[in-house]
Copies of this chain bind each other. A is one copy, B any other.
Amino acid sequence: MVNIGLLGLGTVGSGVFDIVKDRNESLKKSTGKNINISKILVRDASKNRNLDIDNSILTENVDDILNDDSIDIIVEVIGGIDLAYEYIKTALSKGKSVVTANKAVISLHLEELNRLAKENNCGLLYEASVAGGIPIIKGLNEALRINKIDNIEGILNGTTNFILTKMYDDNLSFEEALDLAHEYGYAEADPTDDIEGYDAARKISILASLAFDAKASIDDVECHGISSIKASDIKRFKEIGLAPKLLGCAIKKNNEFSLTVEPILVDDTSLFSAVKDAFNAVNLDCDIVGDLQFYGQGAGKLPTGNAVVSDIIDIINEDYKKFDYCPNPDIVVGENSLFEGLYYFRASLDENDDKKIIKAFEDKSIDIKYEVQDQELVILTEMISSELIANLITEDLKLPAKSYSYLRIESEVLNSLVDISF
């Protein structure tokens, strides 16, 4: 018998509870043990729940769980940062293995928590922290046994992918698509974390840490969200056979790496383009096996619960010992961004002066094609570094927020400025 202490009984927590109950036989077959959720931390133990649950296992006091010697594994699904971090540290210090879905904590504290787990001879797994139900952490770790991986890209946030899908397929405005995401329960009351890319930034920093043997965190990620993309942009993207996707990107060269989350224009016949609605997908560019791509549900009660339960199995079977994370201090964020590409740029002329903008590009000797359409200046650039265009817009020109958008182009079809007839 393995006793689990479950911290949190929200969406993911109740998913874990349901799966452990429903699949007890399979889990026994996979682990040789009976898995028993013996205590659950909740905010209000008297609340009515739609779960077939014995109320006596609920507690409002985390110490009832962390101090319980009969509990072997702690599953942390309360979310947030500070409390979750403290609970995980306490559990590991007591030699209890931890499974968490908490991308914020893992992105900030992976190295410390991983060290603590090793010192206490227990495990720390976090498959559910990246891309929900997709077994990407395991897939990445397995691939790394043989391959070097210097390039990762992924659709890591379901909310923004849903919004971009609705804007592209159904011609909704950003605001209409966001409203729909709220209606479907895909967006938080305050959607900033999703639409500005911070959620995806945490996830790409976790993947990069593992792939590059580095200590990467959200602070290392250049973030640039989707809220300034307009219907007029989408219309133009369609005309040139491209589709916008918010991608988390990690790239490494020698001992330096760069991370971004940004809207990127991909070919409308590409795999990423076919990832619709709230689904996620991650591409690993492996030096031996080539591109490997994993696709699935990026969030939700059962998909994320599945990832947590899969980690529980790996803890019990001691499979966590197969993979280690030992960041190499020589591998660091590059001073200059390693990303470059052709860029699409659009500025509304109600708030901006087209001649001033064109001159700014020309002053930097950036080869461009441009056009004015419906009170908007549209520019396509030659291959330039991501820093050059970001500095031009935000520092040299200091364009008003939301008065412009710009997207890097990653296309097999359009790969030089001369190809683009616009």
Contacts and interface: CB of A to CB of B under 8 A. Distances in A.
A269 B238 CA distance: 13
Interface stretch (A48-56, A142-150, A384-392): A142-150
A289 B293 contact: no
Interface string A24-47: 001101100000000000000000
- Identical chains bound together, number: 2
A26 B297 contact: no
B310 A145 contact: yes
A297 B291 CA distance: 7
A289 B296 contact: yes
B306 A296 contact: no
A2 to B, nearest CB: 15
A313 B145 contact: yes
Nearest to A305: B288
Nearest to A134: B292
B292 A293 contact: no
Contact of A295 (B30, B288, B292, B307): B292
Contacts of A290: 133, 296-297, 300, 302-303
Contact of A135 (B139, B309, B310): B139
Nearest to A287: B302
Contacts of A307: 289
B271 A146 contact: no
Contacts of A19: 146, 288
A294 interface: yes
Closest A-B pairs by Cβ, 10 of them: A293-B295, A289-B306, A133-B289, A274-B274, A30-B145, A290-B297, A271-B274, A292-B296, A288-B306, A289-B303
Interface of A: 19, 23, 26-27, 29-30, 133-135, 138-139, 142-143, 145-147, 269-271, 273-276, 286, 288-297, 300, 302-303, 305-307, 309-310, 313, 317, 319, 322
15 contacts: A19-B146, A30-B145, A133-B289, A135-B139, A145-B310, A145-B313, A269-B274, A271-B275, A288-B305, A288-B306, A289-B297, A289-B302, A289-B307, A319-B319, A319-B322
